[in-house]
Amino acid sequence: MSLFRAATQARCLVRAARWTRVGAAAYSTGASETKVYHSKDGTPLVGSEFLRDKRIWILHLLAKETPDNRLTHTFIQSGLLPALRDVRQQWNAWVKAKDTAEGAALVTAPPTDSKFFSNGLDLLKAVQDPHFFNDYLNAMFYELLTFPIPTVASMGGHAFAAGFTLALAHDYRVMNSERGYACMNEIEFGAPIPKGMLGVIRSVAVSPFVQRKIALEAHRFQATEALQHGLVDATAQGTQATLDMALALAEKLRSRSAKNAWQSIRESLKEEALAAQFERPRALHTFSME
């Protein structure tokens, strides 16, 4: 293991120790099992649905704290990160029990009636906290970039700014061709793109031409154009069809994790993006919200 990887994993373990699961209510419906992660005030944030016969998890971004699935402190800390870490814990238990022959996969999706996959950050609150990017947003990216099973983002609606980066942090993406743009629009309101987010973008958009369109032009990619530039892997007509295709892709890919090599190979492929997830907080406060 490289010194970099050892150091970053150590930092991740320290971060993980800080998180507490505020509330997770579980219920079973026979073919699936669902756990809902809540905020301290009881707001449902993320629903984790496990399809037993397929060994696929669906993380439902519930759009209850904010209608456009903003990546807030609470949403990350009490919703998405605990959900991801519970999936990882179950996978690790299967590895220990030598029960990985069927593999597994994960899909992240918004509600089928939502206009948004995610509309990014609550920027004002994010920049007021010098620890938000390292301890919240980048911790979320790190979790996805080192995930032990294939991940698929079902982009049923708009994915803006950090919401777009959340989709890019998954292994694969399916985008709704009937509704939704993928866009990094920071330049339109005078904000820098943090290093961690740029690392994720560069790991997918390897062409300088596409990087320029994303970061400097705030180009709004529709599904067909995003597919042409390799930003998504498939398109579908409608939110439900997008989720169905994402699930089909996850089922196709899940066997790739059966030998438990997915994480180590992906970490090698994403080494530069992982290195970018640790940055000095002061670099994130160079713009005005006025």
- Domain with 261, as residue range(s), is 31-275
Confidence of residue 22 (pLDDT cuts 50, 70, 90): very low
Alpha-carbon gap, residue 198 to 156, rounded angstroms: 23
Share of the chain above pLDDT 70, in %: 86
- Whether the predicted pLDDT of 175 surpasses 90: yes
Residue showing tokens 């939110």: 239
**Cβ pair 77, 125 in contact under 8 A:** no
Q: What angle do CA 239, 210, 214 make, to 5 degrees?
A: 65
Alpha-carbon gap, residue 256 to 172, rounded angstroms: 13
Mean pLDDT of 61-87: 98
- Asked, for residue 286, whether it belongs to a domain, the answer is no
Q: What is the CATH number of the domain that holds 232?
A: 3.90.226.10
Alpha-carbon gap, residue 156 to 153, rounded angstroms: 9
- Asked, for residue 128, whether it belongs to a domain, the answer is yes
Alpha-carbon gap, residue 210 to 76, rounded angstroms: 28
269 Cβ contact partners less than 8 Å away, ≥ 6 residues apart: 203
Report residue 136 as tokens: 């919240």
CA atoms within a 13 Å half-sphere pointing along the CA-CB vector of 109: 27
Alpha-carbon gap, residue 186 to 164, rounded angstroms: 12
Alpha-carbon gap, residue 122 to 195, rounded angstroms: 18
**Cβ pair 168, 241 in contact under 8 A:** no
Q: What is the mean pLDDT of the chain?
A: 90
76-93 pLDDT, tens digit per residue, is 999 999 999 999 999 999
Mean pLDDT of 47-75: 98
- pLDDT of the residue at 178: 97
187-214 pLDDT, tens digit per residue, is 999 999 999 999 999 999 999 999 999 9
| pTM metric for this prediction | 0.89
- Asked, for residue 16, whether it belongs to a domain, the answer is no
- Asked, for residue 262, whether it belongs to a domain, the answer is yes
Mean pLDDT of 130-158: 97
217-267 pLDDT, tens digit per residue, is 999 999 999 999 999 999 999 999 999 999 999 999 999 999 999 999 999
**Cβ pair 163, 71 in contact under 8 A:** yes
Which secondary-structure segment (H or E) carries 161?
Answer: none
- pLDDT of the residue at 279: 72
Alpha-carbon gap, residue 33 to 78, rounded angstroms: 19
What's the total number of domains in the chain?
1
Report residue 260 as tokens: 């438990």
- Whether the predicted pLDDT of 25 surpasses 80: no
Alpha-carbon gap, residue 260 to 57, rounded angstroms: 17
